[in-house]
Amino acid sequence: MTNDVRSYVADHSADLLADLDAWLRIPGISAQPERRDEVIRSAEWFADACRRTGFPVVEIWPTDGMPTVYAEWPSEDPDAPTVLVYGHHDVQPVDPIELWHTDPFDPTVDGPVLRARGASDDKGQLLFHLLGVRAHLATTGRTSPAVTLKFLIEGEEESGSPHFEALLAERRDRLQCDVVVITDTGMLAEDTPSAVTGMRGLVLADVHFHGPDLDLHSGVFGGAVPNPAQAVARLTAALHDDNGRVQVPGFYDDVLELSEQERELLTRVPFDEARFLETSKSRALAGEAGYSTLERIGIRPTAEVNGIGGGYQGAGSKTIIPSDAFVKLSFRLVANQRPAAIREAVHAFIEEHTPPGIECTINWEAAGVAPCLVPIDTQAYQALSRAVCAAFDADLILPTWEGGSGPEAAIQQELQAPMVFLGVGLPDDQIHAPNEKVTLSMLYKGAEAAAHLWREFAEVGREGLKS
Amino acid sequence: MTNDVRSYVADHSADLLADLDAWLRIPGISAQPERRDEVIRSAEWFADACRRTGFPVVEIWPTDGMPTVYAEWPSEDPDAPTVLVYGHHDVQPVDPIELWHTDPFDPTVDGPVLRARGASDDKGQLLFHLLGVRAHLATTGRTSPAVTLKFLIEGEEESGSPHFEALLAERRDRLQCDVVVITDTGMLAEDTPSAVTGMRGLVLADVHFHGPDLDLHSGVFGGAVPNPAQAVARLTAALHDDNGRVQVPGFYDDVLELSEQERELLTRVPFDEARFLETSKSRALAGEAGYSTLERIGIRPTAEVNGIGGGYQGAGSKTIIPSDAFVKLSFRLVANQRPAAIREAVHAFIEEHTPPGIECTINWEAAGVAPCLVPIDTQAYQALSRAVCAAFDADLILPTWEGGSGPEAAIQQELQAPMVFLGVGLPDDQIHAPNEKVTLSMLYKGAEAAAHLWREFAEVGREGLKS
- pTM > 0.90: no
* Angle ∠(A304,A26,B222) on CA atoms, nearest 5: 10
Q: How confident is the model at residue A1 (pLDDT cuts 50, 70, 90)?
A: low
Alpha helices per DSSP H over A72-170: 124-140, 164-170
The phi and psi torsions of A56 (rounded to 5 degrees) equal -75, -25
Q: Could you give the CA distance from residue B128 to residue B118 in angstroms, rounded to a whole number?
A: 14
In B, which residues are within 8 Å of A213 by CB distance?
281-282
Q: Inform me whether the pLDDT recorded for B1 exceeds 80.
A: no
Q: Which of residues 141-200 of A touch B (CB under 8 A)?
A: 159-160, 200
DSSP 8-state class, residue A329: E
Residue A91, CA distances (Å) to A66, A87, A432 in order: 12, 11, 8
Cβ-Cβ contacts under 8 Å for B419 (sequence gap 6 or more): B179, B180, B181, B182, B372, B374, B380, B408, B411, B412
Contact at CB, B230 and A217, closer than 8 angstroms? no
* Distance spanning both ends of chain A, measured CA to CA: 26
H/E element, A447: helix A440-464
The phi and psi torsions of A112 (rounded to 5 degrees) equal -80, -5
The complex's ipTM?
0.71
DSSP conformation letters of A199-261: E-EEEEEEEEEE-SSS-EEHHHHTTTS--HHHHHHHHHHHTB-TTS-B-STTTTTTPPPPPHH
Q: Could you give the CA distance from residue A223 to residue A217 in angstroms, rounded to a whole number?
A: 11
pLDDT value of position B406 = 63
Closest residue of chain B to A358, computed from CA coordinates: B283
Cβ-Cβ contacts under 8 Å for B89 (sequence gap 6 or more): B28, B39, B42, B43, B46, B69, B122, B123, B126, B153, B154, B155
Region for residue B345 given its phi and psi (left: phi exceeds 0; alpha: psi -120 to 50; beta: otherwise): alpha
Q: Could you give the CA distance from residue B116 to residue B105 in angstroms, rounded to a whole number?
A: 6
Q: Could you give the CA distance from residue A46 to residue B354 in angstroms, rounded to a whole number?
A: 47
Contact at CB, A306 and B313, closer than 8 angstroms? no
DSSP 8-state class, residue A166: H
| Among B121, B277, B305, the residue to mutate for chain A (most A Cβ within 10 A) | B305
Handedness of CA B220, B223, B226, B229 (dihedral sign): positive
Q: Inform me whether the pLDDT recorded for A236 exceeds 90.
A: yes
Reply yes or no: is the peptide bond before residue A122 cis, omega within 30 of 0: yes
Q: How confident is the model at residue A147 (pLDDT cuts 50, 70, 90)?
A: very high
* A2 burial via Cβ count (<10 Å: 0-12, 13-18, 19+): middle
Cβ-Cβ contacts under 8 Å for B393 (sequence gap 6 or more): none
Closest residue of chain B to A237, computed from CA coordinates: B234
**Does B428 contact A at CB distance below 8 Å?**
no
H/E element, B458: helix B440-465
Q: Could you give the CA distance from residue B3 to residue A377 in angstroms, rounded to a whole number?
A: 100
Taking residue A165's Cβ as centre, other Cβ atoms within 10 Å add up to 18
Region for residue A167 given its phi and psi (left: phi exceeds 0; alpha: psi -120 to 50; beta: otherwise): alpha
| Among B234, B277, B304, B437, the residue to mutate for chain A (most A Cβ within 10 A) | B304
Angle of helix B124-140 relative to helix B13-24, nearest 10 degrees, comes to: 150
User: How many Cβ contacts (< 8 angstroms) between chains A and B?
Assistant: 380
Short-list B392, B401, B405, CA closest to B442: B392
Q: Could you give the CA distance from residue B107 to residue A32 in angstroms, rounded to a whole number?
A: 37
Reply yes or no: is the peptide bond before residue B336 cis, omega within 30 of 0: yes
Instruction: Tell me the shortest Cα–Cα distance from A282 to chain B, in angstroms.
Output: 4
Q: Could you give the CA distance from residue B456 to residue B380 in angstroms, rounded to a whole number?
A: 9
Q: Could you give the CA distance from residue B206 to residue B361 in angstroms, rounded to a whole number?
A: 8
Residue A317, CA distances (Å) to B32, B366, B432 in order: 10, 11, 11
Q: Could you give the CA distance from residue A364 to residue A243 in angstroms, rounded to a whole number?
A: 27
Q: Domains plus CATH for chain A?
A: 2-199+371-464 (3.40.630.10), 201-255+301-364 (3.30.70.360)
Window from A29-43, A432-446, B258-272, B436-450 with minimum mean pLDDT: B258-272
Q: How confident is the model at residue B299 (pLDDT cuts 50, 70, 90)?
A: confident
DSSP 8-state class, residue B67: P
SS3 B418: coil
pLDDT value of position B367 = 72
Window from A227-236, A268-277, A335-344, B13-22 with minimum mean pLDDT: A268-277
Q: Could you give the CA distance from residue A372 to residue A74 in angstroms, rounded to a whole number?
A: 28
DSSP 8-state class, residue B314: S
pLDDT value of position B269 = 80
Please compute, for residue A467, the number of CA atoms within 13 A of its CA located in the half-sphere on the CB side. 4
In B, which residues are within 8 Å of A434 by CB distance?
214-215
The phi and psi torsions of A184 (rounded to 5 degrees) equal -165, 30
Short-list A391, A387, A385, CA closest to A441: A391
Taking residue B11's Cβ as centre, other Cβ atoms within 10 Å add up to 11
DSSP 8-state class, residue B33: G
| Among A163, A217, A252, the residue to mutate for chain B (most B Cβ within 10 A) | A217
Handedness of CA B378, B383, B384, B389 (dihedral sign): positive
Per-residue pLDDT, averaged over A210-219, amounts to 93
Q: How confident is the model at residue B297 (pLDDT cuts 50, 70, 90)?
A: confident
Q: Could you give the CA distance from residue B29 to residue B70 in angstroms, rounded to a whole number?
A: 19
H/E element, B72: strand B68-73
* Angle ∠(A324,A328,A332) on CA atoms, nearest 5: 160
pLDDT value of position A403 = 58
Please compute, for residue A79, the number of CA atoms within 13 A of its CA located in the half-sphere on the CB side. 8
Mean pLDDT (chain B, rounded): 94
Q: Could you give the CA distance from residue B203 to residue B302 in angstroms, rounded to a whole number?
A: 10
pLDDT value of position B259 = 72
H/E element, A402: strand A398-402
Q: Inform me whether the pLDDT recorded for B39 exceeds 80.
A: yes
H/E element, B442: helix B440-465
Cβ-Cβ contacts under 8 Å for B439 (sequence gap 6 or more): B112, B113, B190, B426, B429
| Among candidates A226, A287, A307 on the partner chain, residue whose Cβ is nearest the Cβ of B310 | A307
SS3 A33: helix
pLDDT value of position A138 = 97
pLDDT value of position A399 = 83
Q: Which of residues 249-278 of A touch B (CB under 8 A)?
A: 276-277
| Among candidates A95, A284, A405 on the partner chain, residue whose Cβ is nearest the Cβ of B219 | A405
| Among A305, A334, A363, the residue to mutate for chain B (most B Cβ within 10 A) | A305
Question: Which amino acid makes up residue B255?
Answer: V
Q: Could you give the CA distance from residue B379 to residue B465 in angstroms, rounded to a whole number?
A: 6
pLDDT in tens, A422-456: 999 998 999 999 999 999 999 999 999 999 999 99
Q: Could you give the CA distance from residue B366 to residue B364 in angstroms, rounded to a whole number?
A: 6
**Does A402 contact B at CB distance below 8 Å?**
yes
The phi and psi torsions of B210 (rounded to 5 degrees) equal -115, 125
Instruction: Tell me the shortest Cα–Cα distance from B36 to chain A, in angstroms.
Output: 14
Per-residue pLDDT, averaged over B180-201, amounts to 92
* Angle ∠(A348,A353,A357) on CA atoms, nearest 5: 115
pLDDT in tens, A360-412: 999 998 778 888 888 888 999 999 999 999 999 999 888 888 755 568 888 98
Contact at CB, B233 and A236, closer than 8 angstroms? yes
Q: How confident is the model at residue A467 (pLDDT cuts 50, 70, 90)?
A: confident
> Under a CB-based contact definition with an 8 Å cutoff, are residues B86 and B180 in contact?
yes
DSSP 8-state class, residue A450: H
